[in-house]
Chains A and B, each alone.
Chain A
Amino acid sequence: MAFFLTYAWLIPALPLLGCALITFTPLRRSKLASGWTAIALMLCATVLAVGLLAATAQGLALRDGQVVPLAAAAGHGEATAPATGEGHGEATTPATGEGHGEAAPAEGHGTFAFPEPNVVQRFAWAPIGESVFAMGVYIDTPVAAMLAMVTITATCIHLFSLGYMAANPRQSRFFSFISLFTAAMLLMTMADNLLLFFMAWEVMGLCSYLLIGFLFERPQAYRAAVKAFITTRIGDVLMLLGLVYLYTQAGSLAFGTGAGEIFNPELLKRLGSESGFFGVSHATGIGLLLFAGTVGKSAQFPLHVWLPDAMEGPTPVSALIHAATMVSAGVFLIARTFPILQADNGTTLAAVTLIGAFTALFAATIAVAQYDIKRILAYSTLSQLGFMVAAIGLGGWVAGMFHLLTHAFFKALLFLGSGSIIHGMEATPQMKALHHQDEYAAQQTAQDIRNMGGLRTRMPWTFWTYTLGYLALAGIVPFAGFWSKDEILAHAFVGANWVVFGVLTLAAFLTAFYMTRQWRLVFFGEFRGGQPVVFQNPEPAPRTAHHSHADHHTHHDDHHDTHGHDDHHSNTGPNWQEHPSMIAALVVLASFAVTAGFFNLPFAIPGGHWLSSLWRQEAAPLNFIVAGVSLLVALGGIAAGWSLYGGAFAGAHDTDPLNRQAPALFRLLNEKYRIDELYAASFGRLTAILALAWAWMDHAILDGVVNSIGRLTLFIGQLNFIVDDTLLNDGPDALASGTLATGKRTRRLQTGKAQDYLSYVFGGAVILALVYLYVLK
């Protein structure tokens, strides 16, 4: 066990090593070798992470290189931690509910106590004046749980990519990127301070950019990549300001409750009481700035616009980054900095709740009217992230984290399932024919749920695993999503936040509804891909059909094309193969989608409240009213979806039943409330205008002034020259030729004898020296 604690830093180091090996060694030439290298290293990291979780679950901690048991008292530690060798200097003071507990919006669920760390290892990173900025790892039980979740899902997704990306010539690079991403996510999770947290967070943003734009020949892909990077960066720079603000106030960014660490009770009390800008308390200012990072990264309203577009990336990327890990990093951030957020009597947390709950409902309504299987899941992710954010805002720390963990498993499962479906769809003759004309249109067409149908029998593995994920997301007992979502609703209910409760319940209803719609249209009925609704590409690829054919092997899409190109038009039956590595990944994730909820069963049985007790937080008992309501709502959503879409879409070109009944509303939802267009017309245009204005100012005004001064000087020079050379020397009768000479000589002056200027300078210096000699005698 000591091994797992001491060498916890290997967990991010292994995928990083994988990235380095795949990028810089000849391994990159072989897709299989690079893929298996990445997977093998991920497996090692998973073993380490699970071992670490086991060690922390036993209450073991590392102090001075020795393994000691942590004090058992949940959250009210008796300051047992002696200083570690690496300078975790201060013994942990009793982190308390007493100090700032009353300040939290008491929602009936007690208070949050920052868990005591199991491992803290720090080294001096940068000297700042008289002090030193330290960096390192900080592992407590929530971190250990996150690490286990991330490594497990990432390993599954690596495995899935082995089959899914097999046809892509850049598969090695793909593995290099997702390994780097995984390393960054793991490093962020175990960061011991907010700066390291932020650095890893930004590296994830980089990987997100690289992977969304992985198919970089497509304008849609690289545009989505830039959009994602810039939109999240808006949140990120605000978060950076939050870091700087906090650093200025606290003199440190290190996690921990000790003196000089940012969760120190006295510090928090001071942040909450003193006011900074605009009369807002420091804690509110810092909290909101940090939360801006969450809004960007977790794609909460109003910075949500990048996530649906991010679906341009290959599907495993959507599963890993844009469903399971990176987007939930935002939630992890507010969970991590929760003591600061709650230090100001609830203003910040109210804002957090508001944004979260609004996004949960807002995104769910959009998901109802989408046809693209991945975009439905993307909006669903937005909505579920809204649930988590709202949970944290309500003070339901455990509920939010719990939902984060369960959601990661079942949403990754759903995305991989959708990948498997798209993979199958793209192998149908219609899509392949389309692919020759326009590969982007072909892919979009293959993702359209109107063109699917009847896949239950064609892709049984995918169907059954997808169904488990679907039930988990819809919130059906006993699947994972039920338990965690129920805990969130219970928080709103017990805290008597009726508006939030109502909004979230409605969002839960819609979740069940749109997922049923999708599930029904994809897997049941007749296969409609024979006469598909073809995606009209507004910017078709500029190349000719001939080119497309020739380039086929060099820049290929993320689908598996096992056929030759000459015979596949005659291929009659679609190839509905399911790749073994893909099935394996789906099965592992499905088993977690079923069981992840059991980690925190709300019953007082052995193993019940396991996560709560692991994290040393107060356990929330089951509220039967809420559980009943949420189950009823989920079943209602399923029933509504099933009945509405039971007979719909006999063919792909039919109208959606909702569209028939409320065309205006459906259109609004289908166009995502036209927020993208609004942003383009406002912020987009404003930025372009500002750029032009600044360029004009440089060119016309500042350069104008500089050039005028230059011309004026030249003019005086000419005047001087005329007076000296022409009038005085040559006399008036030589005026004409003198003017000509003037032009000539001026031109010579202008063409640059810098030696002359320089000799003037040196001459001047010499003269000055002589002057001083003279002055000094």
Chain B
Amino acid sequence: MNVPSYLAFSPDGVPWLTLLLLSTLAGVLLVGLAGWLRLPDRVVRLGVTAWMGVPLALAAVIWSRFNPGATAAGQGTVQLVELIPWIKAIHVDYFLGVDGLSLPLILLTVVMAPVAAIASWGVTDRPKAHFALLLVLEAAMLGYFMALDFFFFFIFWEFSLVPAFFLIQSWGRKNRRYAAFKFFIYTMAGSIGLLLLFQVLYLATRQAGLPTWNLIDLGRLGRSLPVEGVTGSLRDILFAYMEKVGITQTLGRFPLLYTSIAFWAIFVAFAIKLAVWPFHTWLPDAYAEAPTAGSILLSAVMSKMGAYGMLRIMLPLVPDAAQYFAPVLGGLALVGITAGAFGALANTGGDIKRLIGYTSINHMGYVMLAIAAVAALPDGATQDSRASALNGAMMQMVAHGLSTGALFFLAGALYTRTKSWELMDFGGLRVAAPTFAGVMGAVMFANLGLPGMAGFVGEFFIFRGAWATLPLFTNLAVIGLIVTALALLLMYQRIFLGPLNEDWQKIADLRPSELWTIMPLLALLLALGVYPMPILSLANATATQLVAVFQHVLS
């Protein structure tokens, strides 16, 4: 096979990505084995947590093998590629690879999975199934971030719903059925358009001479970058197919129309996952009703799957439509930022998990704003400003994953002590549990984007990039910074400040195991906040290449 310059195979020939994927699935088998051997639950939970160190170590190896600055032929080089023909008849390939957009999220996934496992130590109801599902979920998410063939991409995308569904449905709170169904059906319904679109794209590219599901090639075609074996851009290819099928006779001969339809099919699928307003109402339910581990993985990693999908598919495949509709996306982002912030504020007298869920909507609103800003019309923006927005979005995702995961972990720890999620039930716990209060305070400030913590770096670069293309939305979006801060401070106040609530005189402070689960997350948040280079340099080259296309007027 003739390998294009923008794909780089593993330098040492070891299929590290497949190993990473298999390591999690091997964990599932080990849990099964443990079940067969009737090993005690304690062994299983320690074993699974320890086993999650294997993906962590493999991801570290992948990171060390990754060359962050590599670019080729107008895009960031996709590295550690594994490309094996799979179903030859329909040109499906087993195609894994990482670039600057996926690697930070892979790292986030392998870091957060053990946190979720530790958060599940208290699970007494069918713990083996619970831990097995955690590993399955980790596998699905990792596969999603590595798969570069739509067939596998979509399978991992849908498949990640299954363990998440069962985690919510079987171990969640009292309203879990409703939440699990809403979450499952909503996401699945949203991705129908995406599935159909790729059938059409396959047929269109087949007509153009290169039938493919290859997301990298499709992305290159979308951006009019050369792909061997085919000429023209994806827009032309799609339009030509529409002409051939005859749809243009009814709908009109407007190429942008068809890329726009494609755009909306893609956008809706990923917007639901990213919880972009108005597709966000599943999120507070799902986050709130899920068990702690579910909330952690859902908020820390799964919501990033939506943003990643937009970066991997929406921006490169249909840049013209993305540019055209960028103001709409920016508007939705703004509404989401506001809705999340005020939604959180409305929950300051209620459920702690719903409150954190709403702050997630707010934070993901900034990511959406960044994506809109990357795509919006030139209007004085430079490639650097767009790259800044995209780097900021990557940083924001990593920071939000770490800090929100930690918040949910601590909320769960609070629940195991008090059996309550209601903020009004607490008060003054800082007296009885000073370490808990200190750690949660630090996590909260990381979450609300205090400078010195990673979240601020993300927000700053997003704002810096968004100002150049969407100044009005950027200006209004800062309302979210104030209101979310208020909501989180009030949350903290209700739990920890004031005179100690008599009911919790004897509440236990943070245990060492809990403390040392959160400490690495806090250390990462602080380290990246002070010196964001490790993540930003990872993303920067790929991001800079990706945004180049938007420097021109495309439609």
* Residue A571 CB within 8 A of the other chain: no
Residue of B nearest to A218 (CB): B498
Contact between chains at A277 and B481 (CB < 8 Å)? no
Contact between chains at A128 and B387 (CB < 8 Å)? yes
| Interface stretch of the complex, out of B36-44, B219-227, B230-238, B449-457 | B449-457
Contact between chains at A554 and B431 (CB < 8 Å)? yes
Q: Hey, which chain B residues are within 8 Å of A218, CB to CB? A: 498
CA distance A703 to B388 in the complex (A): 35
Residue of A nearest to B164 (CB): A754
* Residue A245 CB within 8 A of the other chain: yes
* Least Cβ–Cβ distance between A55 and chain B, in angstroms: 28
CA distance A693 to B532 in the complex (A): 38
A219, A234, A752: which contacts B482 (Cβ < 8 A)?
A234
* Residue B87 CB within 8 A of the other chain: yes
B185, B451, B483, B493: which contacts A222 (Cβ < 8 A)?
B493
Q: Hey, which chain A residues are within 8 Å of B188, CB to CB? A: 757, 761
* Least Cβ–Cβ distance between B341 and chain A, in angstroms: 8
CA distance A111 to B450 in the complex (A): 37
Residue of A nearest to B472 (CB): A277
Q: Hey, which chain A residues are within 8 Å of B385, CB to CB? A: 129, 248
Using known A-B contacts A126-B536, A129-B544, A245-B467, determine if residue A237 contacts B430 with beta carbons closer than 8 Å. no
* Residue B199 CB within 8 A of the other chain: yes
* Residue A687 CB within 8 A of the other chain: yes
Contact between chains at B342 and A125 (CB < 8 Å)? no
Q: Hey, which chain A residues are within 8 Å of B90, CB to CB? A: 769, 772-773, 776
Contact between chains at B540 and A230 (CB < 8 Å)? no
* Residue A604 CB within 8 A of the other chain: no
A131, A703, A761: which contacts B281 (Cβ < 8 A)?
A703
* Residue B416 CB within 8 A of the other chain: no
Residue of A nearest to B384 (CB): A129
Residue of B nearest to A198 (CB): B451
Using known A-B contacts A127-B540, A128-B391, A698-B343, determine if residue A240 contacts B460 with beta carbons closer than 8 Å. yes
Q: Hey, which chain A residues are within 8 Å of B144, CB to CB? A: none
* Least Cβ–Cβ distance between B333 and chain A, in angstroms: 15
B186, B451, B461, B500: which contacts A128 (Cβ < 8 A)?
B461
Using known A-B contacts A125-B532, A127-B533, A130-B384, determine if residue A542 contacts B499 with beta carbons closer than 8 Å. yes
* Residue B267 CB within 8 A of the other chain: no
Interface centre among B180, B386, B485 (most CB of A within 10 A): B485
Contact between chains at A752 and B180 (CB < 8 Å)? yes
Contact between chains at A555 and B431 (CB < 8 Å)? yes
Interface size on A, residues (CB 8 A): 72
B493, B496, B531: which contacts A125 (Cβ < 8 A)?
B531
> Which of B355-399 touch A at CB < 8 Å?
380, 382-388, 391
Hey, what's the 0/1 contact readout for A208-239 against B, CB within 8 Å counting as 1? 01000100111100100010011001100110
Hey, what's the 0/1 contact readout for A238-262 against B, CB within 8 Å counting as 1? 1011011101100100000000000
Contact between chains at A247 and B464 (CB < 8 Å)? yes
Using known A-B contacts A128-B461, A758-B162, determine if residue A238 contacts B478 with beta carbons closer than 8 Å. yes
Query: What size tier do the contact residues of chain B reach?
Result: 35 or more
Contact between chains at A752 and B181 (CB < 8 Å)? yes
Q: Hey, which chain B residues are within 8 Å of A128, CB to CB? A: 384, 387-388, 391, 461, 536, 540
DSSP majority for the B interface?
A: helix
Q: Hey, which chain A residues are within 8 Å of B500, CB to CB? A: 217
Contact between chains at B482 and A691 (CB < 8 Å)? no
* Residue B345 CB within 8 A of the other chain: yes
* Residue B490 CB within 8 A of the other chain: yes
Contact between chains at B533 and A710 (CB < 8 Å)? no
B452, B463, B496, B532: which contacts A203 (Cβ < 8 A)?
B452
Q: Hey, which chain A residues are within 8 Å of B181, CB to CB? A: 710, 750, 752
Residue of A nearest to B386 (CB): A129
Hey, what's the 0/1 contact readout for A113-129 against B, CB within 8 Å counting as 1? 00000000000111111
Contact between chains at A219 and B498 (CB < 8 Å)? yes
A129, A703, A761, A772: which contacts B158 (Cβ < 8 A)?
A761
* Residue A57 CB within 8 A of the other chain: no
Q: Hey, which chain A residues are within 8 Å of B103, CB to CB? A: none
Contact between chains at B533 and A126 (CB < 8 Å)? yes
* Residue B124 CB within 8 A of the other chain: no
Contact between chains at B87 and A702 (CB < 8 Å)? no
CA distance A305 to B510 in the complex (A): 37
CA distance A702 to B481 in the complex (A): 24
Contact between chains at A222 and B481 (CB < 8 Å)? no
* Residue A681 CB within 8 A of the other chain: no
Contact between chains at A241 and B499 (CB < 8 Å)? no
Q: Hey, which chain A residues are within 8 Å of B498, CB to CB? A: 216-219, 222
Using known A-B contacts A129-B384, A217-B498, A541-B499, determine if residue A199 contacts B339 with beta carbons closer than 8 Å. no
> Which of A759-777 touch B at CB < 8 Å?
761, 765, 768-769, 772-773, 776
* Residue B338 CB within 8 A of the other chain: yes
CA distance A343 to B203 in the complex (A): 60
> Which of A88-105 touch B at CB < 8 Å?
none
Interface centre among A241, A698, A761 (most CB of B within 10 A): A698
Using known A-B contacts A752-B169, A757-B184, determine if residue A226 contacts B460 with beta carbons closer than 8 Å. no
CA distance A772 to B383 in the complex (A): 41
* Least Cβ–Cβ distance between A399 and chain B, in angstroms: 31
* Residue A692 CB within 8 A of the other chain: yes
> Which of B434-461 touch A at CB < 8 Å?
445, 450-452, 456-457, 460-461
Using known A-B contacts A127-B533, A241-B478, determine if residue A217 contacts B428 with beta carbons closer than 8 Å. yes
Contact between chains at B536 and A199 (CB < 8 Å)? no
Q: Hey, which chain A residues are within 8 Å of B384, CB to CB? A: 128-131, 251
Residue of B nearest to A230 (CB): B486
Contact between chains at A754 and B478 (CB < 8 Å)? no
Residue of B nearest to A751 (CB): B177
B184, B471, B532, B540: which contacts A277 (Cβ < 8 A)?
B471
Contact between chains at B450 and A203 (CB < 8 Å)? yes
Residue of B nearest to A213 (CB): B497
* Residue A351 CB within 8 A of the other chain: no
A124, A226, A702: which contacts B486 (Cβ < 8 A)?
A226
> Which of A683-726 touch B at CB < 8 Å?
687-688, 690-695, 697-698, 702-703, 706, 710
Contact between chains at B489 and A226 (CB < 8 Å)? yes
* Least Cβ–Cβ distance between B19 and chain A, in angstroms: 25
> Which of B464-503 touch A at CB < 8 Å?
464, 467-468, 471, 474-475, 478, 481-483, 485-486, 489-490, 493, 496-500
Contact between chains at A241 and B463 (CB < 8 Å)? yes
Leading 8 A-B pairs by shortest Cβ distance: A129-B384, A129-B387, A199-B451, A695-B346, A694-B342, A691-B345, A691-B346, A237-B478
A selection of 13 A-B contacts at a CB cut-off of 8 Å is A125-B533, A129-B384, A129-B544, A230-B482, A230-B489, A240-B478, A241-B475, A554-B431, A694-B346, A710-B181, A752-B165, A754-B184, A755-B162
